[in-house]
Amino acid sequence: MENKNWQFKPSDLATVPNLLTYLRFLLVAPFVVFFLNKNYIAAAVCFALSGLSDCLDGFFARRLNQVTSLGKILDPIADKVTLVSVAVCMVIYMPSLLPIMLVMIAKELIMLTGGLVLLILKITPPPAHWYGKAATIIFYLSVCAIIFLKAVFQIENETLITVTFLITAAAMVFSLVMYIQLIIRQIRQK
């Protein structure tokens, strides 16, 4: 799909979906501070708000007809910034998660690179598909569950945490493979 209207307009800055995306960026720092200071309930609230705003920005973009070029760029960047910050916190919390988190971060970096290549080729990056949304939901649920278990029940089961993140990483790798195929098709069609 060629990029015919890929332009930024000043009015795009204050759309409801983009404001929700800015909120996701703003929630990263408090999440990290709360998590590293072992205030897990506050960290979970920040992370849950981030996940909620991630769901709502796409909903409002379509419902209010406020899909913008800026939003198409910022939304995936907010996803990646959130994931990397959570991954770093989780590795600090449980260093044995490093290989799994590196897989998840690599997936995000590959996706970011693929999107950048499409933009350079003046091709509109593909919209989110069910497999990408499912991987994101699994990621948010996994992190919230782990933080909740730690904060409320003081459960620190390394096997449970590892399995949870292995499932999350598998969903992300599946999503990556599907998006790579989609990106290759878009490049070939051009």
> What is the residue-level pLDDT of the chain in tens, covering all 190 positions?
444 455 667 777 789 889 999 999 999 999 999 999 999 889 989 998 998 998 898 888 888 888 887 887 888 889 889 988 998 998 998 888 899 889 988 988 898 888 888 888 888 777 778 898 899 889 888 888 888 787 777 777 788 888 888 999 999 999 999 999 998 998 888 7
And the tokens for 152?
Answer: 């409320």
What is the pLDDT, as a whole number, of residue 147? 82
- DSSP conformation letters of the chain: -B-SS----GGGGG-HHHHHHHHHHHHHHHHHHHHHTT-HHHHHHHHHHHHHHHHHHHHHHHHTT---HHHHHHHHHHHHHHHHHHHHHHHHH-GGGHHHHHHHHHHHHHHHHHHHHHHHTTBPPPPP-HHHHHHHHHHHHHHHHHHHHHHHH----HHHHHHHHHHHHHHHHHHHHHHHHHHHHHHHH-
pTM for the predicted model, two decimal places: 0.79
Question: Hey, what domains does the chain have and what are their CATH numbers?
Answer: 10-189 (1.20.120.1760)
> How many residues comprise the chain?
190
What is the pLDDT, as a whole number, of residue 142? 87
What is the pLDDT, as a whole number, of residue 6? 57
Residue where the block lists tokens 């999350």: 168
What is the pLDDT, as a whole number, of residue 2? 43
What is the pLDDT, as a whole number, of residue 1? 43
From the CB of residue 34, how many other CB atoms can be counted at a distance below 10 Å? 20
Round to whole Å and give the CA distance between 145 and 63: 30
